[in-house]
Structure 1
Amino acid sequence: MAHPARWTCLCLLLTALSATAADWRSDLPSAQRLGEGEFSWWGLRLYTARLWANAPVQGWDQPFALELLYHRSLSRDTLVQASLAEMRRLDPASMTAQRSAQWTEALERAFVDVRPGMRITGVYLPGQGCRFYVGSTLSSEIADPVFARAFFAIWLGPDARDPQLRRRLLGLADTDGGQ
């Protein structure tokens, strides 16, 4: 018969592990995958993107999660600079020097160097901001709704760099005969 103190320790350990194992799904427990697609740059497959939500995403008034599964190693600095460049491209007038500095710092806290098989998921929270998870661990929460919308517009905004990926994520890729 096992010692009661060992059972208590085991139960506490399992409880702690299950608490730390919570991931982005605790933010959107009933989310369903709406769509997915691959992003390649100059013929190199960089990541698979998946969009998760409780209902079709038709604007910026509902929460959703954008999951990126990386197929290549990329440095945190590369991820930060590419994100900022796209945010600047999409809305150059709003990217002041102060905002750029704040957003650089926020992205540096949220991101890590990635290797093939790693996953970063961003959760958009309307009117609040967003959260970033590396694997199943919360890496950063950014309480800036303007940042959140600018960041997710990289993939979901009408002027996204890859319109076909945007359509696939939103579940629209085949609704009009593939045009």
Structure 2
Amino acid sequence: MKKIAACALLACVTATFLSKPVQGSETTPLPGTVLAGQGTMRFFGLEVYQARLWVSPGFAPERYGDQPLALALTYQRNFTAQAIAKRSIEEMRRVAPFSNEQAERWQAALQAALPDVKPGDTLTGIYRPGGGAVFRMGDKVVGEVADPEFARLFFGIWLSPNTSEPALRQALLASRNTSGSP
């Protein structure tokens, strides 16, 4: 089991992304937003998760931290909240530096906010600029991290130009990348 989890976590670093329709409802999880893009992450040919991004009209990718948005991940593998939180902190460090104290606090808060996931589960993160992040499974709020800096860096995992996965970023921002810029 640990070997499978380690391989799945490595997917965040070496995945490939495909722009294909994602299963599930296309109803916006955040009023006033529209679907911007979607992508499927694969690792060694195995689907890890499917991602969809909803943004407000006029959304500017270079200022993602200033605008509300929703990011839904439909998992195709089992992951514990602990594994998701740990990997998220590692990826957030690519977006911007932060202290070890912040990392410990944020990892504990994220782990407490997230459920374990299994194939078919959709976890949706709602970004509230200046207010933090709310996490939902279906229509139910499962947790929240009310730290604006955490939330900006967390969503930067997918939306920052410093992301470790530029192909997924491009797929998620497909309808917003009209100038060809990153």
Any unmatched runs of 5+ in structure 1? 1-23
Could you tell me which residue of structure 2 aligns to residue 77 of structure 1? Answer: 82
The match for 1:157 among 160, 172, 175 is: 160
**What amino acid is the match of 1:72?**
R
- Secondary structure of the residue aligned to 1:73 is coil
1:67 corresponds to: 72
- 8 Å Cα contact 2:36-2:175 kept in structure 1: no
Cα distance change on mapping 1:90 and 1:29 into 2, 3 Å: closer
Distance in 2 of aligned mates of 1:56 and 1:82: 31
Larger Cα Rg: Structure 1 or Structure 2? 1
Contact 1:110 1:139 in 2 (8 A): yes
C-alpha contact 2:41 2:168 (8 A) present in aligned 1: yes
TM-score (normalised: structure 1): 0.76
Residues 1:149 and 1:174: Cα distance change in structure 2 (over 3 Å): closer
How far is the alpha carbon of 1:67 from its aligned partner? 0.4
| d(CA) in 2 for partners of 1:131, 1:100 | 18
Q: Which aligned pairs between 1:14-93 and structure 2 lie closer than 5 A?
A: 25=29, 28-58=30-60, 59=63, 60-91=65-96, 93=97
1:115-162 Cα shifts (integer Å, max 9, x gaps): 111010001111111111122210112221100011000000001111
Unaligned runs of 5+ in 2: 1-27
Residues 61-96 of structure 1 show CA distances to partners (whole Å, capped at 9, x for unaligned) of: 2100000011111122211111111112332x31x1
In structure 2, the partner of 1:167 is: 170
* SS of the residue 2:66 aligns to: coil
> Which residue of the partner structure matches residue 16 of structure 1?
none
Match of 2:3 in 1: none
- Shift of residue 176, structure 1, vs aligned partner: 6.9
- Checking the alignment, whether the CA contact within 8 Å between 1:34 and 1:56 is kept in structure 2 is no
Three-state SS of the structure 2 residue aligned to 1:139 is strand
8 Å Cα contact 1:35-1:50 kept in structure 2: yes
CA distance in structure 2 between the partners assigned to 1:125 and 1:136 by the alignment: 17
CA contact under 8 A between 1:109 and 1:139: conserved in structure 2? no
Q: Distance in 1 between matches of 2:89 and 2:131?
A: 20
Which one of the candidate residues 145, 149, 153 is aligned to 1:142?
145
Q: Distance in 2 between matches of 1:81 and 1:33?
A: 28
Cα distance in 1 for residues equivalent to 2:130 and 2:169: 22
Mean Cα displacement is larger for which, 150-159 or 165-174?
Answer: 165-174
The share of aligned pairs that are identical, in percent, is 40
Give, in whole Å, the separation in 1 of the partners of 2:71 and 2:170.
14
Normalising by the residue count of structure 2, what TM-score does the alignment of the two structures yield? Answer: 0.75
For 1:176 and 1:44, locate their aligned partners in 2 and report how far apart those are by CA, in whole Å: 32
